[in-house]
A and B are shown apart, each in its own frame.
Chain A
Amino acid sequence: KAGVTQTPRYLIKTRGQQVTLSCSPISGHRSVSWYQQTPGQGLQFLFEYFSETQRNKGNFPGRFSGRQFSNSRSEMNVSTLELGDSALYLCASSWDGEAFYNEQFFGPGTRLTVL
């Protein structure tokens, strides 16, 4: 079974631009979560989607948004990029949206650099 895939793997943008990142979960997984990883703040939760609905949201500004499609694929968008948005963005999927202890399977991440 293929793992979680994320595209693109690397991105370079300039301040003020916007960016869209894509995540394809493991086949059959219905929950998709997004995390931001930086050296200073570590791993921080952005949001989680299940059946095309956002169920949980972290403490990020409204410039960060996401969505999930009917095939469970998910995208996240960051508008008006700032230098501080440079980070590794990780997507994780889980097979069952009912249990809080289900394992989340992580993708390789998208490395975003904002210049």
Chain B
Amino acid sequence: AQSVSQHNHHVILSEAASLELGCNYSYGGTVNLFWYVQYPGQHLQLLLKYFSGDPLVKGIKGFEAEFIKSKFSFNLRKPSVQWSDTAEYFCAVTVNDYKLSFGAGTTVTVRA
């Protein structure tokens, strides 16, 4: 079955630490990849997306993600996290349609 997998359920970091969240998908063919973030008490919002071109994409707030087609992966990274990055992060995919298929989400807690 087609799916999106996020490797970590909960990540706890200290400020200034580097963050990497894993995401793998099992869809074949052309995919469009997204990372959404949900800050406490706020709406889901887009961090970044990939649909073609340079596989290293940069998003808002210093986040970036790398699409590795051979590994079916789209991992999210940030070199130095801040307390304000505490949130839930969702990887999502669309495949030739308009519906987002989400991973289970990763809760990131940044300790000051």
Report whether A94 and B44 are in contact in the complex, using a CB–CB cutoff of 8 Å: no
Knowing A33-B98, A48-B99, A50-B98 touch, does A103 contact B49 (C-beta < 8 A)? yes
From 74 to 105 in chain B, residues with beta carbon under 8 angstroms from any chain A beta carbon are 90, 92, 94-105
Taking CB atoms, residues of chain A closer than 8 Å to B45 are 105-106
Near B by CB (< 8 A), chain A positions 2-34 give: 3-4, 31, 33
Indicate whether A95 reaches chain B with its CB closer than 8 angstroms.
Answer: no
A17 to B42, CA, bound (A): 29
Q: Assess the B49–A101 pair: CB atoms within 8 A.
A: yes
Residues of B in contact (CB 8 Å), total 23
CA distance A92 to B36 in the complex (A): 13
Chain B residue nearest to A6 (CB atoms) is B43
Chain A contact surface mostly: strand
Question: Are A108 and B43 interface neighbours, CB within 8 A?
Answer: yes
Contact of A104 among B51, B97, B100 (CB under 8 A): B100
Residues of B within 8 A of A99 (CB): 51
Chain A, interface size category, equals 20 to 34
B18 within 8 A of A: no
Q: Is there contact, CB below 8 Å, between A100 and B97?
A: yes
What is the CA–CA distance of A100 and B97 in the complex, to the nearest angstrom?
A: 6
- Is B46 an interface position by the 8 A CB rule? yes
Question: A107 within 8 Å of B by Cβ?
Answer: yes
Q: When chains A and B are docked, how far (Å) is the Cα of A107 from the Cα of B45?
A: 9
Which B residues have a C-beta under 8 Å from some C-beta of A? 32, 34, 36, 43-46, 49, 51, 90, 92, 94-105
Binding site for B on A (CB under 8 A): 3-4, 31, 33, 35, 42-45, 48, 50, 55-56, 58, 90, 92, 94, 97, 99-101, 103-109
